[in-house]
Amino acid sequence: AQSVTQPDIHITVSEGASLELRCNYSYGATPYLFWYVQSPGQGLQLLLKYFSGDTLVQGIKGFEAEFKRSQSSFNLRKPSVHWSDAAEYFCAVGLKAAGNKLTFGGGTRVLVKP
């Protein structure tokens, strides 16, 4: 069965420190890959996406992610975290052949210490 795993439920990071959020997927083919951020009570904001090509993807707000086919991973990184980055982060995967339906990981809540 297709699945998306975000192993870390919570991550606490100091402001200015680097951040890495993990995402692993299990799909029969290489899917489209996405990272979204959600602030409390709000909708989703797309940070970045991977469809094909360069496996290092740059997104908004200083985030980047690297697709590693051999590890079925799409980890999100930010070199220096700001207090405003405190939020819930979701990894999602989709397949065009599956009608572009998205499967979401369980989410990682990021807390930023001053």
Partner 1 sequence: GAVVSQHPSRVICKSGTSVKIECRSLDFQATTMFWYRQFPKQSLMLMATSNEGSKATYEQGVEKDKFLINHASLTLSTLTVTSAHPEDSSFYICSAFGDRGEEQYFGPGTRLTVT
Q: Under the rule (CB under 8 A), what is the footprint of partner 1?
A: 32, 34, 36, 41-44, 46, 49, 51, 90, 94, 96, 99-107
The CA distance from 89 to 47, in Å, is: 9
Nearest approach, Cβ of residue 24 and partner 1 (Å): 15
Nearest approach, Cβ of residue 36 and partner 1 (Å): 8
Nearest approach, Cβ of residue 13 and partner 1 (Å): 19
Task: Considering the complex, state which of residue 12 and residue 79 has its C-beta at the smaller distance from partner 1.
Answer: 12
Q: Please provide the DSSP assignment of the chain as one string.
A: --EEE---SEEEEETTS-EEE--EEE-SS--EEEEEEE-TT--EEEEEEE-SS-SEEE-GGG-EEEEEGGGTEEEEEESS--GGG-EEEEEEEE-GGGTT-EEE---EEEEEE-
Nearest approach, Cβ of residue 90 and partner 1 (Å): 6
Task: Considering the complex, state which of residue 70 and residue 100 has its C-beta at the smaller distance from partner 1.
Answer: 100
Task: Considering the complex, state which of residue 13 and residue 44 has its C-beta at the smaller distance from partner 1.
Answer: 44
